[in-house]
Structure 1
Amino acid sequence: MARPSRSAEIDAALLQAVATHPRDLVGMVSAQLGLSSARVSIQVRKLVAEGYLRKEGTTRPVYTRGHNRRFWQRYPREGLAEDSLWSTHLSPLLRDVPRNVLDIAHHGATEMINNAIDHSEAAHVGVHVELRDEELLMMIADDGVGIFRKIARALQLPDERLALLELSKGKFTTDPRNHSGEGVFFTSRMFDRFQIMSGGLVFSHEEGHGNDVLFDLDDMPKEGTVVSMGISTRSQRTAKQVFDEYSSGPDEYAFAKTVVPVRLAQVGDENLISRSQAKRLMQRVDRFRHVVLDFSGVTTIGQAFADEIFRVFAQAHPEVELVPVHAVSEVQQMIRRAETARDYDGGQLPLL
């Protein structure tokens, strides 16, 4: 039986030790891991070739970090603090990254690590950072209960897929005393690519593509949660721009706007026809002033579904502006019908 490869373990040890052991890197890691200098030297040469290490000199080489960066560490969740992890391990790795990207990385890493600490019920939290070829990738993984399962239990949802709908709205947390529920929403919009993988489900947001995507992934662990965030180091986006886009105005900084992907209210192949589905879609959106209902990927809706949103909800919450976008003509007709009834019915009972 072949022995498991220790390459990843050696790489992690080398990259972690290079800052403090530039002159005796190979010997130090060899002693630490109980391996021969020859075995460790193979990984050193590989990391130099890939740009993660820089070598100066031949007889007595001195090693420093290369232009590419990699970090991986697994921590016990108990006692972990996201601020000290960032300042001690992550920030030094990214000191050459443009300030706007660094600020986004700081926000994303600390928010997602804190979520794992406070919500996951995990034993361990893993942190992986990869900076290569002007792309920054960050992954936060835990072995806990799973984010979609926890949300589904808290809201008594019939299907874990509906938990993604609540996350996409923002302002949801299972611990409202200590959290605002804004972390995932804003983080997903700061990065170029954002994914949450848990329980065989993947929630994906890609900046510029407009649509939040949900899909199944069979070959992933059913326990725990993995959050993946990626951004180009050439990005001009700033954290402030994202906060401003969803704030209530230039002089206020309340989280007042949200974009709701309507199709996430669907479970499986079901159509959006019922009032119950509409109520589920509109749950908690009365906390916002401006709600964009994105109908991308929705080909038809029922009369009762449209009426519940654009007449019943709209009459009950006149302070909330509802803006449907990306609706096909059939959906637009149902929306207009409900809006017309709202304008003329004078408070009658919901249409049948």
Structure 2
Amino acid sequence: MSKVRKRGEQIRQFILENVEKYPSDVAALASQEFGVSRQAINKHIQHLVEQKALVATGSARKKHYQLHPQIKWMETYDLSKNLAEDIVWDADIRPLVKDLPDNVKDIWAYGFTEMLNNAIDHSSGQTVVVQLERTAIDTQIIIYDDGEGIFKKIQRELYLHDERHAVLELAKGKLTTDPERHTGQGIFFTSRMFDEFAILSGSVHFSHQFSEAEDWISGESDFKSGTAIFMKLNNNTSRTSKQVFDSFSSGDDYAFTKTVVPVRLAQYGNEKLVSRSQAKRLLAGVDKFKVVVFNFAGVDAIGQAFADEVFRVFKRQHPEMQLVCLNTNQEVEQMIRRAESTDP
């Protein structure tokens, strides 16, 4: 392959990989990255439009570009007719991703079947809609059921105060309302395999990005009924499902021994994390793990009683556990150190 052709492919790949983030500025970005004129970049963009890799919208001076869907597919399934996730995968989804690398197909097989099974076994809905869209760069799938809503169900069955508490319990990784048939690990591992993962249900929007591996985000949503799960993955990622499992496992038995807990989800509304009851809410169920990473992103301060309950009382009750803190500011760090150094 000539150097000119190779450079042209590099430029076009760069455009495809950055167009979603910079839909109107991707030409300027590529021009700066490769040190070539905007006119030269525009020729590459036009080539991608002609190949139906990109879609152009807007006027000549205000062009916007986006990835062109190579595949757009949707199907509605009846949840009352003995629906089986593996059958849907084999018959409908796998043919749409059959040419992707094996590691990518493995991730899709795990994530899709786990999430569809949740809808089948837990939603109490009538139908589930599956949508798939594939571009030259990535594939995304949305699974939407018309049931009770995942966070509302967890809140109801575990007698929790609100849906945000349900998100906190789900984020820890071993929550299930049906322990006879489920381990509660499916959502945890699925969320960490994909580039982007989100659940919209009720008043809660719950998302995770692989590029921010230790960061869970929860915000307000107006998704009034059912549950929608969104998964997105680069078509050529080098990631494997085994790598993700291994990063939260230890020992020869590959037991699920590590979790990441988003501390700010222990808050209700605008309250501050100051009390022992809030700390106990945070700590519920984490004794199932050997390593617990407390992610303090979005937490500006914690109170003495909260810190003492987590980092003195709980820590001394469970000396075999490793507690790790992440994204702490100076004020939070000082309160943690104070609790750890306090004599009983």
TM-score band, normalised by shorter chain: 0.7 to 0.9
Q: Once the two structures are aligned, what percentage of the paired residues are identical?
A: 52
Name the CA distance, whole Å, in 2 between partners of 1:277 and 1:200.
21
**Which residue of the other structure, out of 75, 83, 108, is the alignment partner of 2:111?**
108
> Do residues 184 (structure 1) and 187 (structure 2) align?
yes
> Do residues 84 (structure 1) and 87 (structure 2) align?
yes
Alignment of 1:6-85 (within 5 A): 68-78=70-80, 79-85=82-88
Paired positions, count: 279
SS at match of 2:99: coil
Name the CA distance, whole Å, in 2 between partners of 1:174 and 1:217.
23
Name the CA distance, whole Å, in 2 between partners of 1:197 and 1:306.
31
Query: Does the aligned pair in 1 maintain the 2:307–2:339 contact within 8 Å?
Result: yes
SS at match of 2:270: coil
The one-character-per-residue Cα deviations of 1:26-79 (angstroms, maximum 9, x if unpaired) are: xxxxxxxxxxxxxxxxxxxxxx9968xxxxxxxxxxxxxx99222211111121
Distance 1:67 1:92, change over 3 A: farther
Q: CA deviation at 1:295?
A: 0.8
Q: CA deviation at 1:188?
A: 0.1
The one-character-per-residue Cα deviations of 1:202-230 (angstroms, maximum 9, x if unpaired) are: 10101112421111123x3x110000000
Q: CA deviation at 1:200?
A: 2.9
Q: CA deviation at 1:316?
A: 1.6
Aligned to 1:225: 227
Q: Give me the TM-score of the superposition, normalised by structure 1.
A: 0.77
Aligned partner of 1:311: which letter? R
Q: Give me the TM-score of the superposition, normalised by structure 2.
A: 0.78
> Do residues 149 (structure 1) and 152 (structure 2) align?
yes
Name the CA distance, whole Å, in 1 between partners of 2:294 and 2:76.
39
Aligned to 1:350: none
**Which residue of the other structure, out of 216, 220, 228, is the alignment partner of 1:216?**
220
Q: CA deviation at 1:141?
A: 0.6
Name the CA distance, whole Å, in 1 between partners of 2:170 and 2:52.
37
Structure 1 runs of 4+ aligned residues shifted over 6 Å read none
Over the aligned positions, Cα root-mean-square deviation in angstroms equals 1.7
Aligned to 1:281: 282
Unaligned stretches of 5+ residues in structure 2? 1-49, 54-67
Task: Name the larger-Rg structure.
Answer: 1
Distance 1:67 1:145, change over 3 A: closer
Aligned to 1:256: 257
SS at match of 2:208: strand
Q: CA deviation at 1:132?
A: 1.1
The one-character-per-residue Cα deviations of 1:143-195 (angstroms, maximum 9, x if unpaired) are: 00000001111221111111111111100010001000000000000000000
Q: CA deviation at 1:318?
A: 1.6
